[in-house]
Structure 1
Amino acid sequence: MAHDFPVQRSCPFAPPAEYEKLRDEAPVVRGKLPGGEVWLVTRWAEARQVLSDATISTAPSTPGNALVAMSAEPPPPEVLEAQAEQGRGFFIDMDPPEHSVYRKLLIPEFSYRRIKELRPGIQATVDRLIDDMLAQGTEADLVEAFGLPMPSLVICQLLGVPYSEREFFQSRTRRMLTDEDEAGRTAAVGELRGFLSGLVAEAEKAPGDDLLGRLVTARAVPHEDMVGMMFLLLVAGHETTANMIPLSVLSLLRHPDQLRQAIDDPSLWPGAVEELLRFHSIVDWVAFDRATTQEIEIGGRKIGAGEGVLVLGASANRDERVFPDPDRLDIRREARPHVAFGYGVHQCLGQNLARAELEIALRTLFERVPGLRVDTPDEELSFKYTAPIFGMNALPVSW
């Protein structure tokens, strides 16, 4: 029997309720999407197998790609043509060896050593935003005042994007992720790429001392491919962390015993971040769409070539076989094996940056605003239950 998919979350602290039933049923089950059926991977071991298998493709153009089945009707030719052009340099949708070319260019910029060098700048950004928030009074929307601008500032500084343009790229990113109309999403992508194309052109004339300037100076890839790389880094570099910050704050406030442990022992913050990443798994199946290129066995099932596969990251990260009592938030848990950043050659390039941002943001916020609280009941808070990347629309806080 095929299960209807996708399914929505209904609780801010848990994946869709159906996921536990799917895990109990089998590590791989059939999912019925608007445009056809695909395989859904529900458990941790099989998720890592799929995400690291070189015979399973992430390219949308590969026959059977699972994401294609998300739409009841295939996109019109003009949309497909636009998407193909906009896909240049978007290396998350490429398989090796093409994917490897782009990733190798960027690994030094996101290495543990490089992010360690950036930590003082991240700390200064966090402190400045908290200063501004405190200066406004005794209450704020944590999403607008802190969660959204913090990673936006950091990624803009890192890439060399003027922060004055943040409202433009944030609005286009939201349209791209939430617009129900395929043409609307494609248009938002085109507008954002056009904006970035101008920035790349300026850097080609006068490269600065930033990631874009260094890449342009190296002349490693053509102009349009550079635009695609910047597009991916800009969107991925702020949208996910911006959603994780307010969710993490709410979760810790709703688990005061866990929060008190981290405040009393700051060495627990790195582990707390890993547990929060596992606990929320805000990306879930987004970017985990795959297609088989040959017959393969997953979880005891024979799956033929040209079939769609979706890894349910939020289900894998609640797999009882790996994470005992998985629905409990436990910042002392060894959560690092989670797949919130993916696994294999496509594992998130910016994971070191995301970890540093979350650790510094959460630790500093609770240290500097010890009376931080959320008085609004959870059922009255606004969550992004229908968005592909889970998060909060707003988080009213006071102190």
Structure 2
Amino acid sequence: MTATMAGTDRVEIDFSVYNPFTPEFSTDPWPVLDRLLREYPVAYHRDMGMWFVTSHEHAQEVLRSPRFSTRMTDWNNAPASTPESEWTLYEKVQQHSMLNVSPAEHQRLRRLTAPAFSRRVMDQIEARIRDNIGEVFDELPDQTAFDAATGIADKIPIRAIARMVGVPAEAESLFVHGLGWNAVRATNPMYAADRDTYIQGTIPGLEYLFESVAEHRAAAEAGRGSDDFIGTLVATEVDGQRLSDAEIVSVVIAVVVAGADTAVDLHTLALQAFLTHPDQWALLGERPELMEDAILEVLRWGAHGKFGGIPRFPLEDVELGGQVMEKGSFVMPLFATAFIDGRKWAEPRRFDITRSHAGNLVFGAGPHLCIGLNLVKVQGKLMLDEFRRRFGDTARIDGEVEYDSGHWNARRITRLPIRTGA
């Protein structure tokens, strides 16, 4: 049986209804996603042990409602707490993460970090990473035929985030691959069984970050403060309050996790979308002011991940869509279906960069709106600008697109062969 109504009228599904780890799902997710939207707006997946919320309306409610927590400690199956005396550097930093602090403390951190994400700082970051993106294209071994997944998408996020926080080239791997890759998994409840291994993998990168923050703070105290990303976080004062070193490091980790993982998919998805919709590529060239909407549309149209963003845990029994999600259960708003819900989006399978994105969930919603969204947008803009400057409208996908069906969340494109008229 693929779905059952339990004794409490709970709608349940299993892998026969939704198994996002198959090659078939990665290649063509539409039939599965359409069925989830049509038949299971809210359902408990007994093989995964979590609730899936598939409709845009219900997913938005979960993201915005104060009845749901982002703290892993509010999950019934959370790993046992480690005594404070045994905390690693990672666990000490996590006490200051926006995902783990109280709502009031979360608002305080948002106020203190806002200046670092201002238009002025983002413009500085754009100027700082523009040349790096050009260098990535320069490094393509053949400008007429290349794999955009390994040649472009795998490289740009690493360099962009490293430059954003002032990491030299020789520390890029330590910072993004070591810290970013492990932090994504250490903070995700789905990896609870191997959490200790991932935590240890973050330590060298965290030590590097604390040293960098200390250097920025010492420079500021000596009157030589900088107005770069970390320098702005160090210098910001609101109502007499400042960020501690651990709070600054927790913010940088959030940016690394958001920018290093999501942005990899943005670059391949953007090229796939525009090269299969040349009319939209031409339109973007004619109307560059559509760039921000275009990036949102790329992610709405193509970023059909296997789960959502940050899981939620009900602080009380919550009724939604006729289902009662128990206090402390694992709730996953499924962005893949919310992004193509026909009750929200007209002709959801159509890629249209002029579409209104009012109320979109691409970067989440509510108090935990993605902190790294501006960095992701800047990367996407610069990559597409450079691609157009070099190749104009001569590029096309030339071969089979391949996916990593085993990736924990994304429909990660691992091969995107492109041929150009360069």
TM range (shorter): 0.7 to 0.9
Structure 1: gaps (5+ residues): 69-73
> Could you tell me which of 401, 407, 410 is aligned with 1:386?
407
Task: For residue 124 of structure 1, report the CA deviation from its aligned partner.
Answer: 4.2
1:352 aligns with 2:382: no
When the two structures are superposed, what TM-score results if normalisation uses the length of structure 2?
A: 0.79
Q: Distance in 1 between matches of 2:418 and 2:141?
A: 14
Tell me the SS of whatever aligns to 1:364: helix
Task: For residue 57 of structure 1, report the CA deviation from its aligned partner.
Answer: 0.7
Q: Corresponding residue for 2:34?
A: 20
1:271 aligns with 2:285: no
Task: For residue 81 of structure 1, report the CA deviation from its aligned partner.
Answer: 5.3
Amino acid across the alignment from 2:419: S
1:343 aligns with 2:365: yes
Q: Corresponding residue for 1:88?
A: 95
Task: For residue 112 of structure 1, report the CA deviation from its aligned partner.
Answer: 4.2
1:211 aligns with 2:229: yes
What whole-Å deviation, never above 9, does each CA across 1:174-222 have from its counterpart, x for those lacking one?
3555797443322222333233223223333335522212323458233
Q: Corresponding residue for 1:281?
A: 303
Q: Distance in 1 between matches of 2:208 and 2:120?
A: 31
What whole-Å deviation, never above 9, does each CA across 1:315-370 have from its counterpart, x for those lacking one?
11111101122223222322343211000010112223322321232133123212
Task: For residue 123 of structure 1, report the CA deviation from its aligned partner.
Answer: 4.0
Distance 1:57 1:77, change over 3 A: same
1:245 aligns with 2:270: no
Tell me the SS of whatever aligns to 1:393: strand
Task: For residue 149 of structure 1, report the CA deviation from its aligned partner.
Answer: 3.2
Distance 1:24 1:364, change over 3 A: same
Q: Corresponding residue for 2:173?
A: 167
Amino acid across the alignment from 2:232: R
Q: Distance in 2 between matches of 1:204 and 1:304?
A: 45
Distance 1:95 1:245, change over 3 A: farther
1:7 aligns with 2:17: no
Q: Corresponding residue for 2:7?
A: none
Task: For residue 243 of structure 1, report the CA deviation from its aligned partner.
Answer: 2.2
Q: How does 1:69-108 map to 2 (within 5 A)?
A: 82=88, 84-108=91-115
Q: Corresponding residue for 1:154?
A: 160
Asked if the contact 1:29/1:41 (under 8 Å) is kept, the reply is yes
Q: Distance in 1 between matches of 2:34 and 2:380?
A: 28
Q: Distance in 1 between matches of 2:113 and 2:276?
A: 38
What whole-Å deviation, never above 9, does each CA across 1:219-245 have from its counterpart, x for those lacking one?
823333332222222232232112210
What whole-Å deviation, never above 9, does each CA across 1:378-397 have from its counterpart, x for those lacking one?
2xx34364232442334343
Distance 1:115 1:16, change over 3 A: same
Asked if the contact 1:139/1:397 (under 8 Å) is kept, the reply is yes
Tell me the SS of whatever aligns to 1:240: helix
**Count of residue pairs brought into register by the alignment:** 387
Asked if the contact 2:405/2:411 (under 8 Å) is kept, the reply is yes
Task: For residue 91 of structure 1, report the CA deviation from its aligned partner.
Answer: 1.6
Q: Distance in 2 between matches of 1:287 and 1:301?
A: 21
> Could you tell me which of 200, 210, 216 is aligned with 1:187?
200
Tell me the SS of whatever aligns to 2:71: coil
> Could you tell me which of 342, 360, 366 is aligned with 1:320?
342
Q: Distance in 2 between matches of 1:86 and 1:33?
A: 33
Q: Corresponding residue for 2:9?
A: none
Q: Distance in 1 between matches of 2:366 and 2:288?
A: 31
Distance 1:282 1:112, change over 3 A: farther
1:56 aligns with 2:75: no
Asked if the contact 1:296/1:303 (under 8 Å) is kept, the reply is yes
Amino acid across the alignment from 2:37: R
> Could you tell me which of 397, 409, 415 is aligned with 1:374?
397
Asked if the contact 1:286/1:389 (under 8 Å) is kept, the reply is no
Q: Corresponding residue for 2:8?
A: none
When the two structures are superposed, what TM-score results if normalisation uses the length of structure 1?
A: 0.84
Distance 1:395 1:303, change over 3 A: closer
Structure 2: gaps (5+ residues): 5-11
Asked if the contact 2:269/2:299 (under 8 Å) is kept, the reply is no
Distance 1:134 1:312, change over 3 A: closer
What whole-Å deviation, never above 9, does each CA across 1:75-104 have from its counterpart, x for those lacking one?
796999556435233223444112222222
Distance 1:187 1:78, change over 3 A: farther
Q: Corresponding residue for 2:331?
A: 309
Q: Corresponding residue for 2:51?
A: 39
Asked if the contact 1:178/1:387 (under 8 Å) is kept, the reply is no
| Identity among equivalent pairs (%) | 25
